[in-house]
Structure 1
Amino acid sequence: MTKLILPDENGQVYSYQTGEPKFYPRPTSPLKSRIVYSAAHVVCNPFADISPMEEVSIDWEGTLNYRRYLWSLGLGVAEAMDTAQRGMGLDWNNTKELIGRSLQEAKSVGGSIVCGAGTDQLPLISGITLAQVKDAYLEQCEFIEKYGGTVILMASRALAACATSPEDYYEVYNDILKQVKEPVILHWLGEAFDPSLSGYWGYKDLDKAMGVCLNVICDNKEKVDGIKISLLDTQREIEMRRLLPEGVKMYTGDDFNYPELIQGDKYGYSHALLGIFDAIAPAASAAIQALDKDNIKEYRDILDSTLPLARHIFQTPTYYYKTGVVFLAYLNGHQQHFRMLSGLESARSVPHLAKLFVLADQAGVLIDPELAVHRMKSVLNTAGVSSSK
């Protein structure tokens, strides 16, 4: 146990002592009770002499090494999702390289992987047409399938900007699904994660929006493996889960209520495709191992202990959660710096990061508390927080 001085949200400092780290066992066989994907972050290259707000440089070995770590815990990787700063620093050209490298690495280690396809090669300008959106989607889907990847059909800012009716959404998704080779995972990303997706599926009313989405799925169920919804609305996810056609899976993207949704009820359960599982990977793996043994109490004890941390990382503005995910990777020694694409490390305040440290310690997800304390002190020192009162 180690002490350090932390700032609170009122600008005051206090002394905090870390607890004992928890031991989360690695799996000795594949996880079986749920399909579990961690939406993985990318590691930027801090030594590239570029303009970080305008250019991208990725530390490929650091990025791939983190994916190897996730696979070693029995988790699948959801590649090139919003956790990887898709649309917030990661452009399509770098995304292609990320997907290609990760698919190759997954094959070499036998890791499970799915990859995000969107329309982010299109400029967000007026005059974009539905035909252009379809072509952009198909270009990305074809790239992923060419290299043997499974597609996650991500929500499109371009589609949200040019669609004028629910029928436009239906037309685009229906056409794409008829042309993909293998079943895909749809992704309904809520406004909290991306304000530009407000009114997706043609309605601000979520019940009506869900109806459009379900029509797309029901009319193309042979091409839909499942749907990930990230609405932070437990009851709506449960309701939609019960309305899905037989054989179509629900993947929770609810980083506030995942223990309940993955556990499920007598009518069914959600699989997992979560950004928070990047940050709490050892705990997530151990929890599913417990679920595999029908040990519901252990499962809930593990995941419930991580909820305060998850809700803090994903607090409003939710789309800045990537900062917390990368910060925890830094504290845990998975990368040697706390730098991000587009300078996004500055998106959360120092008191926010200090509270994240405490909640991570209380959840037992600080792998080496002494290293985490050393790195926390380094960050605090640059912010003018003395290591002693």
Structure 2
Amino acid sequence: MSVTVSLPYGDGTTERVTLREPGNWQRPAAPATSRIAYAAAHVVADPFADNAPGLPAALDWDATLSVRRNLWSWGLGVAEAMDTAQRGMGLDWTATQELIRRSAAEAAACGGRIVAGAATDQAAPVLNSLDEVAAAYTEQVEFVQGTGATAVVMASRQLAALAGGPDDYLSVYERILSQVTTPVLLHWLGDMFDPALAGYWGSRDLDEATKTFVSLVQTHAAAIDGVKVSLLDAEREVRLRELLPPAVRVYTGDDFNYPELIAGDGQRSSHALLGAFAAIAPAASTALQRLDAGDEAGFLSILEPTVPLSRHIFAAPTQYYKTGIAFLSWLNGFQPGFTMVGGLQSGRSVPHLVQTFRLADAAGLLLDPELAAQRMTQYLAVSGVTA
């Protein structure tokens, strides 16, 4: 039986849309072998708590961990406590520690891959010295590694504000890399995701910043599992792959161009650490199974229809992409309500989320069309939109 729903346009008119059946997605028996793939998971707010802007985050732990178990069931790794989980946008360090601790225990129980973000956000917003930045990083890296997760050394707003040039970045990162007990990932997050990170690595000129970044990786390659690059610039990522030591993996964070970057150019390819994969997990998993079988054309044919959805979710202002991921999670029944810590469910407009719904349907990623239509109708009603 077909499912229909009335969807509005910006001019106030509505259209009755018949939803398609979900894609023929196939859960794998084991994670992909041709590429390592992590989905950066979001967090689910406790609807009974006061998750207002500026207040400590309170999570719905059952729903938050269920989201992660679902990702592992698709053979994907979980990238925990990354910017997708609202680091720096509502998720405080106390909640972050509990999140990493619980997720790492779940990963150990099910044999799932997990990496987790280590930053400096437990420290004061403005620090006075590079020593303070390094100490904040050290605390978080040690905590993450103590849970058994692999640390992802995230970009630091405090370091970006304090650093006077490339040498300051190298000084801090070299201290961290000289102390780690197991190899870490480095995360280069562009300012389209966080404007406070403009000029990271000591220059607003990305070519100059890349030179600093590459020199750091080349010098400390033994301490680095890989790098996550989130610059939304496919050509730059391809060039970076050529500059890094072969043993250092590149994990694409390019939510606009991931199919071709993961497929590679015949010489080198990217692995994945993507917020988009949290939104398209069934498609990502099925595509990776095709790639494992040597079917690159099949891999691309599955992922390419998901790109319009991902590009829309990650449209400017890009830092609010988390709202779209939480919205899809709610539509698909992975969480009981559309609430986010810090009140971030208001981070996208009604027209934006209606288009998210349309594109998810086009990609076959509304897994229960009847439930999705019911919840979309409820969302529109409380937003003042009636058919």
Q: What residue is the counterpart of 1:182 in the other structure?
A: 182
Which consecutive aligned stretches of 4+ in structure 1 deviate over 4 angstroms post-superposition? 49-53
Aligned positions of 1:304-383 closer than 5 A: 304-383=304-383
Partners of 2:31 and 2:312 lie apart in 1 by 30
Matched, 1:28 2:12: no
Cα distance in 2, alignment partners of residues 11 and 172 from structure 1: 53
Is contact 2:53–2:90 with CA below 8 Å preserved after alignment? no
Q: What amino acid does structure 2 have at the position aligned with 1:120?
A: D
Q: What's the counterpart of residue 41 of structure 1?
A: 42
Letter in 1 for 2:281: A
CA deviations over 1:81-123 (Å, ceiling 9, x no partner): 0000011000111101101111111111111101100000112
The residue aligned with 2:102 is 101
Cα 1:124/1:354, change in 2 over 3 Å: same
Query: How far did 1:23 drift?
Result: 1.9
Q: Write the letter of the residue equivalent to 1:107.
A: A
Matches within 5 A, 1:83-162: 83-125=84-126, 127-162=127-162
Post-superposition offset of 1:16: 1.7
RMSD across aligned positions (CA) = 1.1
- Aligned equivalents of 2:11, 2:50: Cα separation in 1: 37
Counterpart residue number, 1:212: 212
Q: Are the equivalent residues in 2 in contact too, given 1:8–1:355 (CA < 8 A)?
A: no
Q: Do the aligned partners of 2:31 and 2:75 also contact (CA within 8 Å) in 1?
A: yes
**Residue 242 of structure 1: CA displacement?**
0.8
Kindly indicate whether the alpha-carbon contact (under 8 Å) linking 1:133 and 1:159 is maintained by their aligned counterparts in 2: yes
Distance change in 2, residues 1:381/1:235 (3 Å): same
2-structure distance, mates of 1:9, 1:238: 38
Are residues 1:2 and 2:6 paired?
no
Alignment partners' CA distance in 1, 2:31 and 2:191: 34
Q: Deviation per CA, 1:188-208: give whole Å up to 9, x if none.
A: 000100000000000000000
Shift of 1:49: 4.6
Aligned match of 2:300:
300
**Secondary structure of 2:159's aligned partner:** helix
Q: Where does structure 2 lack aligned partners over 5 or more consecutive residues?
A: none
State the partner residue of 1:289.
Answer: 289
- 294-303 or 67-76, larger mean C-alpha shift: 294-303
Equivalent residues of 1:53, 1:341 under 8 A apart: no
TM-fit CA distance, 1:53? 4.5
**Distance in 2 (alpha carbons) for counterparts of 1:269 and 1:170:** 27
Post-superposition offset of 1:128? 2.5
Residue deviations 1:32-91 (CA, integer Å, cap 9, x gap): 010000000011101125645423110111111111111111000000000000110001
1:253 correspondence with 2:243: no
SS of aligned partner of 1:179: coil
Taking structure 1 as reference, are residues 49 and 275 closer, same or farther at Cα in structure 2, changes over 3 Å only?
A: closer
Aligned partner of residue 384 in structure 1, secondary structure: coil
Equivalent position SS for 2:124: coil
Instruction: Name the count of aligned residue pairs.
Output: 386
2:225 maps to what in 1?
A: 225
Range moving further from structure 2, 203-212 or 12-21: 12-21
State the distance in 1 between where 2:91 and 2:56 align. Answer: 9
2-structure distance, mates of 1:218, 1:253: 21
**Structure 1: which amino acid aligns with 2:198?**
S
Deviations 1:138-178 (CA, angstroms, capped at 9, x unpaired): 00011111222211000000100100111000111111100
Contact 1:36 1:75 in 2 (8 A): yes
Indicate the larger mover: 207-216 or 142-151: 142-151
Equivalent-residue separation in structure 2 for 1:134 and 1:95 (angstroms): 19
Distance in 1 between residues matched to 2:297 and 2:173, nearest whole Å: 40
Residues 331 and 366 of structure 1 are in contact (CA less than 8 Å); yes or no, is this contact kept in structure 2?
yes
Indicate if the aligned counterparts of 2:76 and 2:285 stay in contact, CA closer than 8 A. Answer: yes
Return the offset for 1:385.
Answer: 1.4
Deviations 1:196-247 (A, max 9, x none): 0000000000000000000110110000111000000000000001111120
Matched, 1:12 2:16: no
Q: Quote the Cα distance in structure 2 between the aligned partners of 1:12 and 1:30.
A: 45
What TM-score, normalized by structure 2, do the two folds share? 0.98
Contact 1:128–1:158 at 8 Å: present in 2 too? no
CA distance in 1, matches of 2:275, 2:3: 29
| Residue aligned with 1:305, SS | helix
Counterpart-to-counterpart distance in 1, 2:51 and 2:98: 19
Amino acid across the alignment from 2:203: Y
- 1:234 and 1:204 map into 2 onto residues whose CA distance is 18
Instruction: Name the SS of the counterpart of 1:306 in structure 2.
Output: helix
C-alpha distance in 1 between matches for 2:11 and 2:189: 33
Contact 1:332 1:368 in 2 (8 A): yes
Name the residue aligned to 1:167: 167
Tell me the amino acid that sits aligned with residue 191 of structure 2.
Answer: E
Partner Cα separation in structure 1 for residue 199 and residue 62 of structure 2 = 39
Q: CA deviation at 1:259?
A: 0.2
C-alpha distance in 1, partners of 2:196/2:294? 41
Task: Give the stretch that moved more between structures: 18-27 or 341-350.
Answer: 18-27
Cα distance in 2 for residues equivalent to 1:27 and 1:375: 29
Distance 1:331 1:182, change over 3 A: same
CA distance in 1, matches of 2:30, 2:108: 18
State the distance in 2 between where 1:243 and 1:116 align: 25
CA distance in 1, matches of 2:10, 2:86: 27
Amino acid at match of 2:385: V
